[in-house]
Structure 1
C-alpha cells in the first residue's frame, strides 16, 4: 500500500492512498500529556473491503511515529508543501 499524509494544520492530516483521500489522521489530547493519534477511514465498508492494514474503521496510537510505522512509512508533506519527517508533536 502506498499511503501519504498531507498536513492540514498542526495535528491534522488527510490520509491518501494512491493519491485519493480515504481518511484522516488527527492528534487528540493535551499537547504534552495524554496525547494520542487516530487514523480513521472516511467510509465504514465491510472488513474485507478496507485497505490494509485497517482491520477497523479507526486505529489509535501513542505517537505519530508508531502510526506511520503501521501505515508502512508514508510520505509526510507539511502544510508548507515541504516534505517532513513524522515527528513527535
Structure 2
C-alpha cells in the first residue's frame, strides 16, 4: 500500500492511499512542546476492513516523523516548497 500526504495548511494534510483520500493528518497543540499529530480515517470502517496499519479509526504520535514512519514513509507534498518531514523519516 502506498500512502501520500498532501499539505492543505500548516499542520493539516489529506491522507491518500493509492491516490484516494481516505483520511487526514492534523497537528494539535502549540509550538514544539505539547503537540500531537493524529492520523484519522474518514470512514468508521469495521476493523477488518481498515487499511494497514490502522487498527483504530485514529492514531496519535508525538511527531510527524513518527507518524510517517508508522505509515511506511509516505511521499509528503508540501504547499510551501519544502518538506516538513526530516530526511530520515
TM-score by length of 2: 0.91
The yes-or-no answer on 1:60 pairing with 2:60 is: yes
Q: Distance in 1 between matches of 2:29 and 2:83?
A: 22
Q: Distance in 1 between matches of 2:46 and 2:21?
A: 18
Q: Distance in 2 between matches of 1:42 and 1:75?
A: 20
Q: Distance in 2 between matches of 1:70 and 1:16?
A: 15
Match in the other structure for 1:49: 49
The CA RMSD measured in Å over matched residues stands at: 1.3
Match in the other structure for 1:84: 83
Answer yes or no: is the 8 Å Cα contact 1:37–1:64 preserved in 2.
Answer: yes
TM-score by length of 1: 0.91
Answer yes or no: is the 8 Å Cα contact 1:75–1:83 preserved in 2.
Answer: no
The 1:51/1:83 distance shift into structure 2, 3 A limit, reads farther
> In structure 1, the residue corresponding to 2:68 is in which secondary structure?
helix
Match in the other structure for 1:71: 71
Residues matched between the structures, number? 86
Q: What runs of 5+ residues in structure 2 fail to find an aligned partner?
A: none
> In structure 2, the residue corresponding to 1:22 is in which secondary structure?
strand
The yes-or-no answer on 1:14 pairing with 2:19 is: no
